[in-house]
């Protein structure tokens, strides 16, 4: 008999005892289905996290002051988690413009943008009889690149705005819709901004699109109104706040050709050299890339652990296959005796029952893959994520099903092959 004859014979035997075959397959179906469902949900979560982190700027490096005497806690991916120091920095502790300029000159090819900002906080903007709640942030020119801000009209903050402490601002499209008439031109308009007890006059030089901004604070809805973002020159913000010239933190956007992890280490080493004689503070560099790697590794570990537990049912299913094959051999002892009496060698008998075990497990595995993908897709949809079934996992599951069939089918098949034909023919 060739392999095709064995397959047809196996399918015919399974067809004659459908319920018994299905119950035997059930352990395989549950095991494979559980693993595929877990892998599908895990892939979906990992993909969503990676996508979210990419949108947040996975290549961004945050450089911040930290206390020297604070204990470090390191993860397996070398991501340092350190308690940030309090805001009571002395002027001599802050990162200066000279340090940043030297840093930029040293790593010119590695830097795409350096984001500097100064938060003023909430305020109120007045235009005639119309008012709007706003959140004001002082920014530098590179802020637009770092935060991917799209200007719909006018311009963003420029270097000459920073150098001359100009009272200009860039507002959101939501801000324009709330305060301006449909045919009114916002660019060049003067607005009054109430910050604390003081009133400042700003001129609008640009409008940015915040219609699709879900991650930043450019548009925050409260129970009473919508708070929109407004950007002003960094130097002007420091003047209003009465802040010193230094920075406690800033963000670096690495270039596309730069390895972020290596550049992060080089960045920290560079700034640490300025703080060797500072007894209280040093500088630490962190990036989302390292955090993404850590989260992904954690999810993979959890996924692997749960899959291993779910795969235990495959062992139960394999034992069920072995048991049913032993029962089948007992029922077909006379058939085996006749075939051996007609000259069938042990190899042919062994192959027949191994193929039958493989077919049994493979069908169960394919059903399990279908069930796993379906359950995984439904679960990820309920969680609000896009389903990401793993083709590799499905192929491995199918191959594993065949392996289970071979492993647990070999002993019964070998037992059948070694039967004495005379004893088998006399069996009732």
> Does residue 187 register a pLDDT over 90?
yes
CB contact set of 297 (below 8 Å; sequence gap of 6+): 76, 77
Q: Is-contact 73 284, C-beta < 8 A?
A: no
**Cα separation, 348 vs 3, whole angstroms:** 10
What pLDDT score was predicted for residue 55? 57
Query: In terms of pLDDT, which residue wins out, 57 or 408?
Result: 408
What pLDDT score was predicted for residue 222? 43
- What tens digit of pLDDT does each residue of 81-104 get? 444 444 577 888 899 999 999 999
Residue 426 banded pLDDT, cuts 50, 70, 90: low
15-29, 102-116, 263-277, 363-377: which range is least confident on average?
A: 15-29
**Cα separation, 53 vs 48, whole angstroms:** 9
* Burial class of residue 327 (count of CB atoms within 10 Å of its CB; 0-12, 13-18, 19+): middle
Cα distances from 160 to residues 101, 188, 217, 335, 350, in angstroms, run: 17, 17, 26, 96, 86
Which helix (DSSP H) or strand (DSSP E) does residue 113 occupy? strand 111-115
DSSP H helices in 254-345: 260-272, 288-310, 312-331, 333-341
What pLDDT score was predicted for residue 182? 82
> Does residue 170 register a pLDDT over 90?
yes
Start-to-end C-alpha separation, the chain: 26
Instruction: Please tell me whether the overall predicted TM-score, pTM, comes out greater than 0.85 for this model.
Output: no
**Cα separation, 158 vs 152, whole angstroms:** 16
What pLDDT score was predicted for residue 409? 81
What percent of the chain stands above pLDDT 90? 25
Q: For residue 48, give the nearest of 219, 236, 353, 299 by alpha carbon.
A: 299
- What's the mean pLDDT in 303-324? 75
What pLDDT score was predicted for residue 213? 54
Query: In terms of pLDDT, which residue wins out, 28 or 423?
Result: 28
**Cα separation, 403 vs 201, whole angstroms:** 76
Residue 48 banded pLDDT, cuts 50, 70, 90: confident
What pLDDT score was predicted for residue 194? 93
Residue 3 banded pLDDT, cuts 50, 70, 90: confident
Q: Is-contact 93 280, C-beta < 8 A?
A: yes
- The rounded mean pLDDT for the chain is 81
- What tens digit of pLDDT does each residue of 318-356 get? 888 888 878 777 777 777 778 778 777 788 888 888 888
- What's the mean pLDDT in 222-234? 77
Residue 2 banded pLDDT, cuts 50, 70, 90: low
**Cα separation, 299 vs 307, whole angstroms:** 12
- What's the mean pLDDT in 5-19? 76
What pLDDT score was predicted for residue 82? 44
Cα distances from 381 to residues 89, 376, 421, in angstroms, run: 48, 8, 58
- What tens digit of pLDDT does each residue of 403-421 get? 888 888 888 888 877 777 7
Residue 153 banded pLDDT, cuts 50, 70, 90: very high
What pLDDT score was predicted for residue 184? 86
Cα distances from 375 to residues 7, 8, 368, 407, in angstroms, run: 30, 31, 10, 28
- What's the mean pLDDT in 129-143? 91
9-13, 37-41, 307-311, 400-404: which range is least confident on average?
A: 307-311
> What is the residue whose two structure tokens read 């491995």?
396
Query: In terms of pLDDT, which residue wins out, 287 or 222?
Result: 287
What pLDDT score was predicted for residue 220? 47
Residue 215 banded pLDDT, cuts 50, 70, 90: very low
């Amino acid at each position: 008999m060739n392999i095709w004859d064995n397959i047809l014979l196996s399918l015919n035997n399974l067809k004659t005892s459908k319920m018994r075959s299905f119950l035997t397959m059930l352990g395989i179906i549950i095991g494979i289905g559980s693993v595929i469902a877990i892998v599908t949900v895990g892939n979906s979560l990992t993909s969503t996290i990676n996508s979210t982190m990419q949108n947040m700027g996975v290549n961004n490096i945050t450089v911040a002051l930290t206390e020297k005497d604070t204990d470090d806690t390191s993860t397996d991916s070398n991501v340092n988690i350190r308690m940030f120091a309090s805001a009571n920095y002395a002027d001599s502790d802050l990162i200066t413009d000279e340090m940043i300029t030297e840093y930029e000159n040293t790593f010119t090819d590695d830097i795409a943008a350096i984001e500097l900002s100064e938060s003023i906080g909430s305020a109120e903007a007045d235009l005639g009889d119309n008012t709007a709640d706003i959140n004001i942030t002082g920014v530098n020119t590179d802020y637009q690149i770092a935060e991917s801000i799209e200007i719909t009209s006018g311009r963003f903050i420029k270097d000459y705005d920073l150098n001359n402490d100009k009272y200009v601002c860039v507002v959101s499209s939501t801000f324009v819709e709330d305060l301006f008439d449909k045919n009114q031109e916002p660019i060049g308009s003067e607005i009054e901004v109430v910050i604390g007890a003081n009133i400042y006059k700003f001129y609008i030089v640009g409008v940015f699109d915040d219609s699709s901004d879900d991650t930043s604070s450019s548009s925050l809805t409260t129970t009473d109104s919508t708070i929109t973002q407004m950007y002003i020159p960094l130097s002007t913000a420091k003047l209003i706040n009465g802040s010193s010239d230094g920075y406690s933190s800033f963000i670096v956007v690495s270039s596309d050709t730069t390895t972020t992890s290596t550049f992060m280490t080089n960045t920290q080493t560079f700034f640490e050299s300025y703080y060797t004689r500072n007894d209280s503070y040093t500088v630490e560099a962190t990036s989302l890339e390292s955090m993404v790697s850590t989260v992904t590794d954690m999810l993979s570990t959890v996924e692997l652990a749960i899959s291993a537990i779910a795969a235990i049912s495959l062992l139960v299913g394999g034992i069920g296959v072995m048991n049913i094959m032993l029962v089948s051999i007992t029922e077909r002892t006379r058939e085996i005796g006749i075939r051996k009496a007609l000259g069938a060698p042990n190899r042919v008998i062994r192959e027949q029952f191994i193929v039958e075990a493989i077919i049994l497990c493979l069908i169960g595995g394919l059903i399990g893959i279908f069930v796993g993908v379906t359950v995984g897709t439904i679960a990820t949809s309920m969680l609000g994520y896009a389903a990401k079934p793993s083709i590799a996992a499905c192929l491995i599951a199918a191959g594993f099903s065949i392996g289970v069939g071979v492993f647990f089918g070999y002993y019964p098949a070998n037992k059948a092959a070694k039967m004495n034909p005379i004893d088998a023919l006399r069996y009732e």
